């Protein structure tokens, strides 16, 4: 049986609404309806009674619910554990969007590795939507996110802020000069783009649009222009006078969360991990503004 059908069934049973289930699973409402029909056809029963906007589980649906949850839980854990070699006690899977791994997480990962003897760590790269699905499927234990999720089963633990500075190679650059110079757009999600930004207000096509902070930084260093880049990534260049903060530009920020499944059977390990500080995030949170 397709586990995606079971995950969809569980989400609809929780929300009692096809539209909200579609939003939580990052699918279209028609895809949700199609999956439920497929599951009902495979089982030969009706799982939901539909009366206008009122959706409720049938008796068959109520009986399926604990089995669906157990199947997903067991399969998700099996995917992580069956491939462990002798000498490893368990595997911890951590995921993040690709741009996160360009920042320095080494100290934090070293602390994670030291938590439990025989711990194997697997790092995943995926979009926020896919990371949330992996958490629900229990193929991922922890995810680094900079946008919250509406999925009730996923808990969010705030760990700090990522701060971004508008920088250029020219010491004399001010916000008044931005219209006449190329700019580089680093894509950190829709919530980031909702913040007031002197670049976005120009409504000007960027010379480079990228999800890679390293590529955006190298482009500015090589070709010039202006870009909002992570403060942690550009602090050395600012100190050395290679880059300069654009005068009059505000710093922008993104909250940083560690996301995990509330009912994970690895909560004890996850709770230990949540107690580890992401020192650089905290430093960004308290670091004074650059001038």
Q: Identify whether residues 184 and 248 lie together within a single domain.
A: yes
Closest CA to 217 of 195, 243, 194: 243
Q: Would 14 be classed as within a structural domain?
A: yes
Return the CATH number at 244.
3.40.190.10
Distance CA 209, CA 216 (A): 8
Judged by average pLDDT, the poorest of 27-31, 56-60, 114-118 is: 114-118
Q: Would 148 be classed as within a structural domain?
A: yes
CB 144, CB 94: distance < 8 Å: yes
Q: Which of 65, 98, 119 is the last residue of a domain?
A: 65
Q: Would 86 be classed as within a structural domain?
A: yes
Q: Identify whether residues 124 and 263 lie together within a single domain.
A: yes
pLDDT at 253 over 70: yes
Give the pLDDT confidence of 106-119 residue by residue, as tens digits: 788 888 888 888 88
Closest CA to 163 of 225, 104, 96, 233: 233
Q: Identify whether residues 122 and 266 lie together within a single domain.
A: yes
pLDDT at 283 over 60: no
Q: Identify whether residues 167 and 238 lie together within a single domain.
A: yes
Q: Would 70 be classed as within a structural domain?
A: no
Q: Identify whether residues 260 and 137 lie together within a single domain.
A: yes
CB 55, CB 17: distance < 8 Å: yes
Beta-carbon contacts of 61 under 8 Å, excluding residues fewer than 6 positions away, are: 9, 13, 46, 47, 48
Can you tell me the mean pLDDT for 265-278?
A: 85
Angle at 235 between CA 173 and CA 178, to 5 degrees: 20
Can you tell me the mean pLDDT for 182-210?
A: 75
Q: Would 276 be classed as within a structural domain?
A: yes
Q: How far apart are the first and last CA of the chain?
A: 59
Q: Identify whether residues 202 and 221 lie together within a single domain.
A: yes
Q: Would 73 be classed as within a structural domain?
A: no
Q: Identify whether residues 118 and 260 lie together within a single domain.
A: yes
Q: Identify whether residues 32 and 174 lie together within a single domain.
A: no
Q: Would 290 be classed as within a structural domain?
A: no
Q: Identify whether residues 153 and 268 lie together within a single domain.
A: yes
Return the CATH number at 52.
1.10.10.10
Please tell me the predicted confidence (pLDDT) of residue 125. 85
Q: Identify whether residues 194 and 234 lie together within a single domain.
A: yes
Q: Would 88 be classed as within a structural domain?
A: yes
Give the pLDDT confidence of 174-184 residue by residue, as tens digits: 989 988 899 99
Q: Identify whether residues 146 and 40 lie together within a single domain.
A: no
Domain residue limits at 22: 3-65
The number of domains in the chain is 3
């Amino acid at each position: 049986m397709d586990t995606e059908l079971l995950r969809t069934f569980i989400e609809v049973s929780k929300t009692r609404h096809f539209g909200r289930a579609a939003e939580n699973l990052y699918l279209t409402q028609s895809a949700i309806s199609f999956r439920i029909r497929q599951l009902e056809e495979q089982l030969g029963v009706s799982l939901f009674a539909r009366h206008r906007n009122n959706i409720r589980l049938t008796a068959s649906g109520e009986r399926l619910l604990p089995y669906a949850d157990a199947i997903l839980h067991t399969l998700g854990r099996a995917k992580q554990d069956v491939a462990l070699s002798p000498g490893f006690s368990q595997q911890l899977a951590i995921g993040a969007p690709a741009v996160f791994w360009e920042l320095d997480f080494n100290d934090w990962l070293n602390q994670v590795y030291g938590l439990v003897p025989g711990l194997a760590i697997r790092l995943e790269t995926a979009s926020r939507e896919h990371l949330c699905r992996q958490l629900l499927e229990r193929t991922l234990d922890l995810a680094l996110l900079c946008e919250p999720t509406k999925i009730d089963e996923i808990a969010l633990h705030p760990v700090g802020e990522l701060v971004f500075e508008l920088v250029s190679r020219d010491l004399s650059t001010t916000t008044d000069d931005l219209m006449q110079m190329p700019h580089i757009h680093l894509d950190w999600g829709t919530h980031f783009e909702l913040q007031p930004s002197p670049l976005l207000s120009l409504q000007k096509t960027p010379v480079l649009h990228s999800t890679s902070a390293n590529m955006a930084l190298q482009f500015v260093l090589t070709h010039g222009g202006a870009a909002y880049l992570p403060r942690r990534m550009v602090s050395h260049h600012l100190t050395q006078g290679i880059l300069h903060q654009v005068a009059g530009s505000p710093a922008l920020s993104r909250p940083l969360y560690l996301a995990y499944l509330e009912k994970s059977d690895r909560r004890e390990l996850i709770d230990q991990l949540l107690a580890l500080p992401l020192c650089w995030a905290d430093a960004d949170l308290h670091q004074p503004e650059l001038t």
